[in-house]
């Protein structure tokens, strides 16, 4: 098997995850467990790990959880990424740390993130970058407000990636707006791993992402995937009518050339799934929350077979969460017996002491599901 970007990860102090160790990862990793067991948090942690020099990813990450429109302020959102420290009254300014360890072909070995809140006055540069007015009124110069700072301290196996073994980068945010991140010292973008996250709402929100990533669709065999959703699909095109913005159109035996938007959620989900995977570079990471959403049970096996095959071919590592037994079975079935080591499931649960994790190898998954009929969730 080709070297995986991640063969093991450890997460401590991020959201509700405590001393979680995911060992012996596979190409396809399925996360199962009760609600609030930490499945989505693992995907979020991976998105952070993939960009160890880019604390801005925290902003994208918290927005994904709240469907793009945050009810709480950005400081509150970041604060609750450190659950153990956040459980105190909001007036208290907190400091917290979360730590990640990783092993695999991605050369990052450790990432420590320090979070600290403060009361302060944004400087003039930060004021200029203010994303919007504060509480519906213009920001007054010199106004003291609550802020938070994230400090990333990555540790790499090789110093070839950085002149300094530990190159720090920070993100600074204020109560109601954020200033662009800046790096302490000499600016370095750092080494990162190509990764994309799909949530159950992605196909509604990420239209730009969908358009920009879809050119790969026309060069690949992913049309077969779309036919699993609708057998009358004959082609997929990017087109612009009357000089308007380019959009995705489906050539359909009954409808003719119709915009993607007239098709159901399942079709849009499939297009986004295929487009996203195909847009990743070799060695990239695809993170899918609730992988079964929008896909009819009958189509699961074919869709996941496409997903697994494409991931193998393009050397992409995938992490998915699911509550669905049908989705779990379809993923297990998507792996041939010879390559079942590719597929691994992890069951997460929270105990008083830590986040427990049970690993199920591919052959064990086959036996437990298809021979003994047991429910791993």
Residue 333 is a binding residue for another protein (CB under 8 A): no
In this structure, what token pair is assigned to residue 28?
């396809």
Q: How many CB atoms lie within 10 A of CB 59?
A: 18
Q: How far is the CB of 342 from another protein (least distance, A)?
A: 20
Of 108, 328, 360, 362, which lies in the binding site for another protein, with binding defined by CB under 8 A? 360
Q: Give the nearest distance from C-beta 39 to another protein in angstroms.
A: 17
**Structural element, H or E, at residue 126:** helix 124-128
CB of 373 to another protein, least distance (A): 3
The closest of 72, 47, 50 to 61, measured between CA atoms, is 47
Stretch that binds another protein, among 60-68, 72-80, 172-180, 361-369 (CB under 8 A): 361-369
Q: With contacts defined by CB under 8 A, name the span among 99-107, 259-267, 285-293, 360-368 that binds another protein.
A: 360-368
371 sits near another protein (criterion: CB under 8 A): yes
Contact status: 375 vs another protein (CB under 8 A): yes
Q: State which of residues 325, 333, 341, 350 lies at the interface with another protein (CB under 8 A).
A: 325
Q: Which stretch binds another protein (CB under 8 A): 17-25, 43-51, 155-163, 364-372?
A: 364-372
Closer residue to another protein, CB minimum distance, 153 or 364 = 364
Q: Which residue, chain included where needed, has tokens 């993923």?
A: 331
Under the binding rule (CB under 8 A), the answer on residue 170 touching another protein is: no
Judged by beta carbon, residue 141 or residue 374, the one nearer another protein is: 374
Taking CB under 8 A as the criterion, the residue among 136, 142, 243, 373 binding another protein is: 373
* Dist. CA 308–CA 316, nearest whole Å: 9
| Closest among 270, 264, 336, 330 to 300, alpha carbons compared | 330
Q: How many residues bind another protein (CB under 8 A)?
A: 15
CB of 332 to another protein, least distance (A): 12
Under rule CB under 8 A, which residues in 98-117 are in contact with another protein? none
**Beta-strand pair 28-33/317-321:** parallel
The Cβ-side half-sphere exposure at 298, using a 13 Å CA radius, reads 4
| Cβ atoms 318, 307 nearer than 8 A | yes
Is 370 one of the binding residues for another protein (CB under 8 A)? yes
Q: How far apart are CA 288 and CA 203, in angstroms?
A: 12
Instruction: For 36-157, list the strands marked E by DSSP.
Output: 95-103, 108-120, 145-156
CB of 372 vs another protein, minimal distance in Å = 6
Map the footprint of another protein across residues 269-298, applying CB under 8 A: none
Least distance CB 366 / another protein (angstroms): 10
* DSSP 8-state code for residue 281: P
Which part of the chain contacts another protein (CB under 8 A), choosing from 11-19, 86-94, 209-217, 369-377? 369-377
Asked if 368 touches another protein (CB under 8 A), the answer is yes
Residue 93 burial (CB < 10 Å; 0-12/13-18/19+)?
Answer: middle
Nearer to another protein, 15 or 369 (CB): 369
153 binds another protein (CB under 8 A): no
Q: Which of 125, 169, 124, 115 is nearest to 147 (CA)?
A: 115
Q: Which stretch binds another protein (CB under 8 A): 39-47, 48-56, 138-146, 359-367?
A: 359-367
One of 254, 349, 350, 355 touching another protein (CB under 8 A) = 349
Give all strands (DSSP E) within 214-338, no chain letters: 233-239, 247-252, 256-259, 285-288, 317-321
Interface with another protein (CB under 8 A), residue from 171, 344, 357, 376: 376
Per rule CB under 8 A, is residue 369 in the interface with another protein? yes
Q: Is 372 in the site for another protein (CB under 8 A)?
A: yes
Give the residue from 22, 74, 9 showing the smallest Cα distance to 48: 9
Beta-strand (E) ranges in the chain? 8-12, 20-22, 28-33, 95-103, 108-120, 145-156, 169-174, 177-178, 195-198, 233-239, 247-252, 256-259, 285-288, 317-321, 343-350, 355-360
Binding residues for another protein, per CB under 8 A? 325, 349, 358, 360, 364, 367-376
């Amino acid at each position: 098997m080709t070297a995986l970007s991640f063969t093991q990860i450890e997460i401590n102090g991020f959201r509700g995850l405590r001393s979680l160790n995911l060992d012996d990862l596979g190409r396809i990793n399925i996360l199962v467990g009760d609600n609030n067991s930490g499945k989505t948090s693992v995907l979020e942690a991976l998105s952070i790990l993939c960009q160890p020099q880019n604390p801005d990813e925290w902003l994208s990450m918290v927005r994904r959880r709240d469907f793009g429109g945050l009810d709480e302020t950005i400081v509150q959102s970041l604060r609750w990424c450190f659950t153990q420290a956040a459980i105190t009254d909001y007036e208290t300014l907190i400091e917290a740390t979360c730590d990640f360890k990783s092993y695999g072909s991605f050369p990052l070995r450790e990432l420590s993130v320090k979070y600290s809140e403060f009361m302060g006055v944004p400087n003039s540069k930060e004021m200029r970058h203010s994303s919007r007015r504060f509480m519906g009124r213009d920001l007054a110069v010199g106004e003291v407000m609550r802020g938070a700072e994230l400090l990333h301290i990555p540790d790499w196996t090789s110093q070839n990636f950085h002149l300094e073994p530990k190159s720090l980068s920070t993100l600074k945010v204020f109560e109601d707006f954020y200033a662009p991140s800046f790096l302490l010292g000499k600016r370095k973008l750092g080494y990162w791993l190509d990764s994309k996250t799909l949530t159950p709402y992605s196909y509604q929100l990420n239209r730009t992402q969908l358009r920009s990533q879809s050119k790969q669709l026309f060069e690949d065999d992913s049309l077969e995937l779309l036919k699993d959703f609708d057998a009358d699909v004959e082609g997929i095109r990017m087109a612009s009518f009357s000089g308007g913005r380019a959009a995705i159109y489906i050539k359909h035996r009954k409808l003719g050339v119709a915009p993607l938007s007239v098709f159901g959620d399942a079709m849009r989900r499939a297009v986004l799934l295929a487009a996203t995977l195909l847009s990743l570079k070799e060695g990239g990471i695809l993170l899918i929350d609730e992988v079964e959403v929008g896909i009819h049970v009958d189509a699961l096996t074919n869709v996941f077979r496409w997903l697994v095959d494409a991931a193998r071919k393009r050397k992409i590592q995938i992490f998915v969460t699911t509550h669905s037994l049908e989705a779990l079975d379809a993923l297990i079935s998507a792996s041939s017996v010879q390559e079942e080591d590719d597929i691994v499931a992890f069951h997460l649960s929270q105990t008083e002491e830590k986040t427990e994790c049970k690993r199920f190898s591919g052959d064990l998954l086959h036996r437990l599901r298809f021979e003994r009929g047991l429910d791993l969730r």
